[in-house]
Structure 1
Amino acid sequence: MHTILIIEDEQRVASLLKTGLEENGYQTMVAYDGAMGLRLFQSYTFDLVISDIILPKMDGFELAKEIRKTSPNIPILMLTALGSTDDKLDGFDAGADDYMVKPFDFRELNARIKVLLKRNIESPLSTPDHIAYADLYIDLNGKNVTRNGIPIKLSPKEYNLLLYMAENPERVISRIEIAEKVWNTHFDTGTNFIDVYINYLRKKIDRDFETKLIHTKPGMGFILTDKL
């Protein structure tokens, strides 16, 4: 069963979408603003995103760009009252796969969803052999790490932590998320083992370089970015 994220600030429209999609066999989750939609997307797994463009807190264009940073292949279908060619081009430039103007026929929407899901299944993802961010390079096959071409030796735990951060750049990652996603354990607030490994990693990745990549967001977690 496919799961679809609906991001729509008009509750009546969101309710109609949710009901119609669930009647057609899909699971759904609903967000009523762009920021909530992005949080849900980052917290759960979806097969397709349906998003309005004019949204509170974060519009659909910005939302699509944020989604594309970490999920370049998930289908995004935009719904909007805006119908000009320029609006459609802006939507496609932001990363949308399809575009429907309100009001729309639900049968057409359902048909387009089926096409997008089928296309995504038929386009197998190529497995990358490396991850690069700024001057950081991670060789996924050899599990080797370099920065500005200089080899950096990491322990397996340090490597896995850095890899997860590099897979989620410019996003604050909480201690709970690191514990669950990197080491498959529950975070014990009485311990500081995650902070210890962040410090280990920071010494190896940042200490000898002018631009620092690993940053702490007090009370929130950690972020890999070269923009701070």
Structure 2
Amino acid sequence: MRADVMVAEDDEKQAGLVRLYLEREGHAVTVVSDGRAVLDRVRHHEPDLLVLDVMMPHLDGLEVLRVLRGEERELPVLMLTARSTEDDLLTGLGLGADDYMTKPYSPRELVARIRTLLRRTKRTTSPAGRGVSVGGLRVDPDRHEVSLDGVPVDCTPAEFRLLEAMAAEPDRVFTRQRLLEELHGFTRYVSDRTVDMHISNLRKKLEPEPRRPVRLLTVFGVGYKLTDPTTATRHHAR
């Protein structure tokens, strides 16, 4: 699947290596070396996916991501960083990153992660989506769209994947490990807090009171479930 990929990396050698591997995969690659240039390029021609280094001149990758998500762009973002602490990782995920790799990394694995993200975010032009609804929440995998009471909701690819899985089986309790497996990319690198961060972000978008959720419920000691707030009982959950 050919895609337009932007690589934001100020290390010329590293950027060249990533470009080489991605072009071998058949992708068109644009390389930029500072955060301001990323924002300018994305606003003029949004790529299919952004590989975003955290440490860049003028504007770091986290600030770039904060701006892009503030503009409600659904652009898939894979972050690269030399930092490996969980707090740094969760900051990136909290801002809406879809995947995260720490340096040094294997270029082949990077390409595989990109392939997975692109497959997850591929849109189709099917006129009749096979979407599922849970209460007023509708998730349409064919169109890659989410709406709440008819109003579109912008979700990152990772958020969409979690909603897609949970909406397919409403009221089923998903363990954190099961949800990590749905993400296909975080499992070996992060803790259960990854899922907690994505759920927290989704609650901000879907719940009238995120601290008192009625759709995305916590089942203590187990995980999460998606339910219809008009019919759900809240036994052992909040």
TM-score of the two chains, using structure 1 as the length reference: 0.54
Aligned partners of 2:5 and 2:50 also within 8 Å: yes
Partner of residue 52, structure 1: 53
Q: Tell me the distance in 1 between the aligned counterparts of 2:20 and 2:14.
A: 10
Deviation of the 1:71 alpha carbon: 4.3
- Of 145, 170, 193, the residue aligned with 1:125 is 145
For 1:125 and 1:45, how far apart are their aligned partners in 2? 18
The Cα shift of 1:8 comes to: 0.5
> Mind listing any 5+ residue stretches in structure 2 that lack a counterpart?
124-140, 153-238
* Corresponding residue number in structure 2 for 1:42: 43
Residue by residue, what CA displacement relative to the aligned partner does 1:11-43 show, whole Å, maximum 9, x if unpaired? 111111111111111001111000011100111
Shift of the 12–100 alpha-carbon distance from structure 1 to 2, 3 Å rule, reads same
Which residue in the other structure is 2:129 paired with?
none
The residue aligned with 2:31 is 30
- Cα separation, 2, equivalents of 1:127 and 1:26: 31
Partner of 2:90: 89
The SS at the match of 2:100 is strand
Please name the residue that 1:111 is paired with.
112
**For residues 52-84 of structure 1, what are the alpha-carbon distances to aligned partners after superposition, in whole Å with 9 as ceiling and x for unaligned?**
001111111110111112344221000111011
Which structure 2 residues correspond to residues 163-178 of structure 1 after superposition, within 5 A? Answer: none
Write out aligned runs for 1:183-202 (5 A): none
Please give the residue correspondences for 1:180-219 in structure 2 after superposition, counting only pairs within 5 Å.
none
Summarize deviations over 1:112-171 as a string: whole Å, max 9, x none: 11111111126412479669xxxxxxxxxxxxxxxxxxxxxxxxxxxxxxxxxxxxxxxx
Tell me by how many angstroms 1:109 deviates: 0.8
Distance verdict in 2 for CA 1:127–1:45, change over 3 Å? farther
Q: Which runs of 5+ in 1 are unaligned?
A: 132-228
Kept in 2: contact 1:34–1:55 (CA 8 A):
yes
The alpha-carbon distance between structure 1 residues 71 and 121, as it changes in their structure 2 partners (threshold 3 A), is farther
Aligned residue number for residue 75 of structure 2: 74
Residues 79 and 100, structure 1, Cα contact 8 Å, conserved in 2: yes
Structure number with greater Rg is 1
> Which amino acid letter does the alignment assign opposite residue 75 of structure 1?
P
One-letter amino acid of the counterpart of residue 23, structure 2: E
Task: State the distance in 1 between where 2:79 and 2:60 align.
Answer: 11
* Cα displacement (A) at 1:95: 1.3
**Using the alignment, how far apart are the partners of 1:71 and 1:8 within structure 2?**
23
More relative contact order, 1 or 2 (CA 8 Å, 6+ apart): 2
Q: Is the 8 A contact 1:50 1:77 kept in 2?
A: yes
Residue 4, structure 1, aligned to residue 5, structure 2: yes
User: Are the aligned partners of 2:21 and 2:108 in contact in 1 as well (CA < 8 Å)?
Assistant: no
Inter-partner Cα distance in structure 1 for 2:109 and 2:151? 40
Which secondary structure does the structure 1 equivalent of 2:59 belong to? Answer: coil
Classify the secondary structure of the residue corresponding to 2:55: coil
d(CA) in 1 for partners of 2:107, 2:145: 30
**TM-score, L = length of structure 2:** 0.52
Q: Give the conservation status (yes or no) of the 8 Å contact 1:54–1:60.
A: yes
2 CA distance for matches of 1:25 and 1:62?
30
Q: How large is the Cα RMSD of the aligned pairs?
A: 1.9
* Structure 1 stretches of at least 4 aligned residues deviating more than 2 Å after TM superposition: 69-73, 125-131
- C-alpha contact 1:34 1:59 (8 A) present in aligned 2: yes
Identity over aligned residues, as a percent? 35
